[in-house]
C-alpha cells in the first residue's frame, strides 16, 4: 500500500475515534483533550493535501488558542466550585431527527456525486507566498474587514473585562 494512503487512514482513524469520544464522553476535560486529537487529525489532512500553512494555522488557532482557553475555563470552574460540569443527553428525539436528516443528506451526496479523480488539479497555491499575494491583491477588502472585526472584538473584550469605575 502507498505510504500516503497509510498516513491518510492513520489520520482518519484518529480524527473519527477522537471525535466520537468528544461527543460521547461525560467528562468535559476528556472531551476537550479528545477535541485536541481531532484537531490534530484534521491538521494532518491539510498536510496531506499540501496545505502546510493551513495546517500550522489550524494548530496555532485551534489547539494553541481556542482549545487551551476552553480547558482553562473548564479548569477554573470545575472541581474548584462545587458544581460539577457534566455533559448529558437532552432533547433526544429532535436531536436524533436533525442529526439523522443531516447525516442522510451528507451520505446521499457522498454516494451520488461523481468524483473526478483523474481530472487535473488546479496548480497549488505556493504556500505562504501564494496566500500572502492573494490576500494583498484579490481579497484585500475581506482581509481588511476581518482585521477590523478582530479589532472590535478585542476592544469589546477589554471593555467587558475592565473594572467599572463609578
Footprint of other proteins on this chain (CB under 8 A)?
1-3, 6, 29-30, 33, 36, 52-53, 56-57, 59-60, 63-65, 67-68, 71-72, 75-76, 79, 127-128
Task: Return the number of the residue (107 or 128) whose C-beta is nearest other proteins.
Answer: 128
What's the closest the beta carbon of residue 13 comes to other proteins, in angstroms? 17
Distances (CA, A) of 46 to 78, 121, 158: 34, 16, 34
| φ, ψ of residue 86 in degrees (nearest 5) | -130, 140
Name which of 99 and 128 has its Cβ closer to other proteins: 128
Distance separating alpha carbons of residues 62 and 60, to the nearest angstrom: 6
What is the distance between the alpha carbons of residues 108 and 113, in angstroms, rounded to a whole number?
Answer: 8
DSSP symbol at 27:
B
Nearer to other proteins, 50 or 156 (CB): 50
> Which residue number, 68 or 103, has a Cβ lying nearer to other proteins?
68
- CB 77, min distance to other proteins, A: 12
**Among candidate residues 57, 71, 59, 14, the one with its CA nearest the CA of residue 38:** 14
Q: How far is the CB of 60 from other proteins (least distance, A)?
A: 5
Cell 494512503 belongs to 5
CB of 1 to other proteins, least distance (A): 7
Which of 14, 57 has the CB closer to other proteins?
57
Task: Output the nine-digit C-alpha cell for 37.
Answer: 486529537
CA-to-CA distance for 51 and 37, rounded, in angstroms?
Answer: 19
- Least Å distance, CB 72 to other proteins, is 6
Amino acid at each position: 500500500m502507498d505510504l500516503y494512503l497509510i498516513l491518510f487512514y492513520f489520520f482518519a482513524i484518529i480524527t473519527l475515534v477522537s471525535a466520537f469520544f468528544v461527543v460521547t464522553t461525560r467528562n468535559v476535560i476528556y472531551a476537550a483533550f479528545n477535541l485536541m486529537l481531532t484537531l490534530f487529525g484534521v491538521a494532518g489532512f491539510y498536510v496531506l493535501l499540501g496545505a502546510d500553512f493551513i495546517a500550522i494555522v489550524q494548530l496555532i488557532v485551534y489547539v494553541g488558542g481556542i482549545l487551551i482557553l476552553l480547558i482553562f475555563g473548564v479548569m477554573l470552574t470545575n472541581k474548584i466550585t462545587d458544581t460539577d460540569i457534566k455533559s448529558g443527553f437532552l432533547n433526544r428525539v429532535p436531536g436524533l431527527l436533525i442529526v439523522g436528516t443531516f447525516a442522510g443528506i451528507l451520505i446521499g451526496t457522498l454516494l451520488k456525486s461523481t468524483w473526478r479523480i483523474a481530472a487535473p488539479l488546479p496548480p497549488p497555491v505556493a504556500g505562504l507566498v501564494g496566500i500572502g499575494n492573494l490576500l494583498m491583491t484579490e481579497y484585500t477588502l475581506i482581509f481588511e474587514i476581518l482585521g477590523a472585526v478582530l479589532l472590535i472584538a478585542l476592544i469589546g473584550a477589554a471593555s467587558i473585562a475592565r473594572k467599572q469605575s463609578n
